Amino acid sequence: MSFKNQLAYILKQLQKLVLCNNKETLKYLANQACITPHIWLSRSDNLDCPDQMIFDLDPPGNDFSLVLEAARDLREVLEKGCKLKTFVMTTGSKGLHVVVPIKPAHTFDEVRNYAKEIAAFLVEQKMGKYTLNPRKTERGRKLFIDYLRNGYAQTSVASYAVRSLDGAPQSQCLLTGVR
């Protein structure tokens, strides 16, 4: 048994997790005041292998135009350079997620390393705009291309989740994308 499988087994013994795969469970969660559900990047039948790769783009400050530009640049690299399909999703908060559906054939470490290579390529191509540095105090006005969400047990906001913010914004997939 792999270390991750052992850890998953131990965690299952220590806590109960909710698998929301039907309307009844969703209603239950709403009745428990679950406002903003987050999901794993893998499925319950294959926890070690994600079926999506996510890049989280949050503005440094309130400059959403930089987030839009980063989403366009990232999609161009992913779609034209890597030949991957993408979609863009609002987070219901400050930024956007660029999501790449993938076959669950690679480990989280492999997917995160690939995402880091893609992010590093974009940072190199667009010097001065983006960074791989997660520390807000050290990145200045550069936008962090957050590839770290692609780690084991990391989560992402679920589609159509409401945020506990003024106006109750929600996360949504953008059908037309960001062009």
Domain of 165: which CATH number?
Answer: 3.90.920.10
On the question of pLDDT at 176 being above 60, the answer is no
On the question of pLDDT at 161 being above 90, the answer is no
pLDDT at 120: 97
On the question of pLDDT at 179 being above 50, the answer is no
- Domain match, 56 and 80 both: yes
pLDDT at 86: 95
- Report how far apart the first and last C-alpha atoms of the chain are (Å, whole number): 45
- Domain match, 26 and 47 both: no
Q: Is residue 179 part of a domain?
A: no
pLDDT at 3: 72
% of the chain beyond a pLDDT of 70: 93
Q: What is the pTM of this model?
A: 0.83
Averaged pLDDT for residues 27-44: 87
Query: Residues 58-83: pLDDT tens digits?
Result: 888 888 999 999 999 999 999 999 99
Q: Considering its fold, how many domains does the chain have in total?
A: 2
Measured CA to CA, the distance from residue 179 to residue 169 in angstroms comes to 22
- Domain match, 27 and 52 both: no
Q: Kindly calculate the radius of gyration of the chain based on its CA atoms and give it in whole angstroms.
A: 17
Q: Which residue's structure tokens are 């428990």?
A: 32
CA quadruple 128, 116, 150, 160: dihedral sign = positive
Query: Residues 44-62: pLDDT tens digits?
Result: 888 899 999 999 998 888 8
- Domain match, 145 and 109 both: yes
Structural domain of residue 1, as residue ranges?
Answer: 1-34
Q: In which band, very low, low, confident or very high, does the pLDDT at 168 lie, cut at 50, 70 and 90?
A: confident
Backbone angles phi, psi at 177, to 5 degrees: 75, -175
